[in-house]
Amino acid sequence: MKKLFCYCFVGALFLSGCAMSYDITTLPSGDIIRASSRPRLNERGYYVFKDGLGQEVQINRVKVRKIEAVNPGDPPSKSFF
């Protein structure tokens, strides 16, 4: 019984640590976009990611100032220019 509890606890701990969101700060306005998937740079020079609604979004890399990993429940970070 203790082994089963131990395996379940380790499994739950492992699965709960996988969630990560990303804040993308854009230029020139400084708007912050919360991405639910990791932004990836494609061959055309656009960051491609999924937003909070699960829709695919593309942003030109020239318009991205900063990409920062955050926990999903955290409020958007304040960026200071």
Task: Give the CATH number of the domain where residue 40 resides.
Answer: 2.30.30.100
75 found inside a domain:
no
Q: How many domains does the chain have?
A: 1
**41 domain residue, yes or no:** yes
Average pLDDT over every residue of 13-37: 81
Assign 2 a pLDDT band (cuts: 50, 70, 90): low
| Widest Cα–Cα separation across the chain | 58
Side chain identity at 45, as an amino acid letter?
Answer: G
Q: Considering the domain boundaries, does residue 15 fall inside one?
A: no
Helix, strand, coil shares, percent, the chain, to 5 = 20, 35, 40
Summarize pLDDT for 53-80 with one digit per residue, the tens.
889 999 999 999 999 999 877 877 665 4
Which stretch of 1-15, 45-59, 60-74 has the lowest confidence by average pLDDT? 1-15
Average pLDDT for the chain: 81
Residue 35 resides in a domain: yes
pLDDT of residue 41: 97
Range of the structural domain that residue 61 is part of? 20-70
